[in-house]
Amino acid sequence: MVGDADAASFPGARGSSRYTLTDPENGGSFGVCAEVEGLFGDPGRVTYELFGWAPRARVRGWVGDRVWLVPDDQALGPWLLEDAESQDLGRSPGTDSLVLTGLDDCEGPPEGHRERVRVHDGRRWLGSCREFTRVLPAAEPPAPRLVLRGLAPAERLRAALSKGTRGALDLGEAALEIRDDQGEPLTQRLLHGKVFAWRPSRYGTELIDLELDKSLCMPVPGYARPVWERWLAGAPDTPGAWTGLGTRQRGAWLGLVQERGCRRTHRARPAGHAYELDGRYITDGPGLHLALGEAVNGPGGYFGGCVAALADCLRGTFGHTAPATLHWRHSATARAHLSRALTPDGDPYDLFTAVLEALADGGMDVTLA
């Protein structure tokens, strides 16, 4: 069982209904609780060893949120490794290989492919290798269980527990709906709701601690925990709360902004509205979209998480009505950091210009300062 140190419970949470276990297919709730263990954990990383590594940039520790492996064979597309880290597996001194771990793309490299690949992080080429291979773990670690503490079970869950059969205890696909301390919907995590155990809870005579046999489909990585703590307390009420974060945590912040933003109804401003964009902290992709979101929809606001999503927001119901104007202050910062990007295939790409073009196409007249 996951220890108390991993419990997703923070000041003000107990006694509330922060977490709701729901049935997304049939509707309805299995119960609500204020504390969850097992929400944070290892998402299940894969490991590649790249032999004959020829570096073009320093690669150590965290490498990037999106790292692309581009094969020389042009018949094959690039493969994505998310949240990539460089690892030392105890290799002998002088070994010319690089070890990368991360969240693998759903497709990944073809079985048995070992040919040369080049590697980039969306901004610069990191290097190349003559061949690579996937490193299989000695043994798959057991999946941590998810424990819902102080759960107030709904009648349908009480009936399933009372019946106690294998079929009754398999709740099927479920979702953990998560609200902040203000009661506002924040996000959800999917899981397979197979009941492993339950017991009376110390939080109340009518409450139980419910232990589910399978972990979350995608647990929240540990580095994102401070970001989640901030958002679980409530949405930010001042702009720029993300500016002191690194790219990795900015990405986690943007993920919550996007999930929350897509679940909310946005107040449409009238045509002709003038927006102000503070560009001082736009040094990476997540920072760009966080700043744009706050310019249009205020602190914690969402207005796209990539160029395609930005174009959708400009056409949709996300607070903007064309035509409008955007005054982009300190635009030189974004130009310096985003003008020299790379596509997944490794082709040069000007993200700064692409965003300006998307804004213009969506009816937003941008002035740069």
- pLDDT, one tens digit per residue, over 232-287 is 999 999 999 999 999 999 999 999 999 999 888 888 889 999 999 999 999 999 99
Instruction: Give the chain's count of helices (H) and strands (E).
Output: 8, 20
For residue 15, what pLDDT band results from cuts at 50, 70 and 90? very low
CB burial of 41-54 (b: ≥16 within 10 Å; e: otherwise) equals bebebbbbbbeebe
Whether residue 9 lies inside any domain: the answer is yes
CATH of the domain at 301: 3.30.370.10
Tens-place pLDDT, residues 58-80: 898 999 999 999 999 888 889 89
What is d(CA 259, CA 186) in angstroms, rounded to the nearest whole number?
A: 7
Final residue of a domain: which of 80, 113, 135?
135
Residue type, 132: F
Question: Mean pLDDT throughout 169-186?
Answer: 93
Contact between residue 20 and residue 186 where contact means Cβ atoms under 8 Å apart:
no
The residues, any chain, with a CB within 8 Å of residue 156's CB and separated by 6 or more, are 28, 30
Residues 127 and 245 in one domain: no
Task: Tell me, yes or no, if the pTM score tops 0.85.
Answer: yes
- For residue 155, what are its two tokens? 């009648």
Whether residue 127 is found in the same domain as residue 199: no
User: Which residue, of 93, 119, 135, is where some domain finishes?
Assistant: 135
pLDDT of residue 319: 87
Domain membership flag for residue 234: no
Q: Given 194, 223, 252, which residue is the final one in a domain?
A: 223
Same domain for 130 and 112 = yes
Q: How far, rounded to the nearest angstrom, does the alpha carbon of residue 30 sit from its chain's CA centroid?
A: 26
Residues 197 and 312 both lie in one domain: no
Amino acid at 24: P
CB proximity list for 313: less than 8 A, separation 6 or greater: 296, 302, 303, 304, 320, 362
Burial classification of residue 94, based on how many CB atoms lie within 10 Å of its CB (0-12 exposed, 13-18 middle, 19 or more buried) = exposed
DSSP state of 12: T
Parallel/antiparallel/unpaired status of strands 324-329 and 364-368: parallel
- Domain total for the chain? 3
What pLDDT shows up at residue 94? Answer: 56
Q: Does residue 358 share a domain with residue 277?
A: yes
Mean pLDDT throughout 157-175?
94
Query: Domain residues for 95?
Result: 46-135
Q: How far is CA 1 from the centre of its chain?
A: 25
Same domain as 98, residue 203: no
Asked if the bond preceding 43 is cis, omega within 30° of 0, the reply is no
Q: How far apart are CA 248 and CA 62, in angstroms?
A: 9
Are residues 306 and 191 part of one domain?
Answer: no
Same domain, 205 and 56: no
pLDDT over 90 (residue 186): yes
Whether the ω angle into residue 323 lies within 30 degrees of 0, i.e. cis, is yes
- Co-location of 62 and 38 in the same domain: no
Task: Identify residue 191 by its one-letter amino acid code.
Answer: L
Is the same domain home to 216 and 245?
Answer: no
Asked if residue 153 belongs to a domain, the reply is yes
Residues 147 and 29 in one domain: yes
* Residue 352 shares a structural domain with residue 254: yes
Chain segment 18-58, per-residue pLDDT in tens = 999 999 989 999 999 989 999 988 777 888 899 999 999 98
Strands 35-37 and 146-153: antiparallel
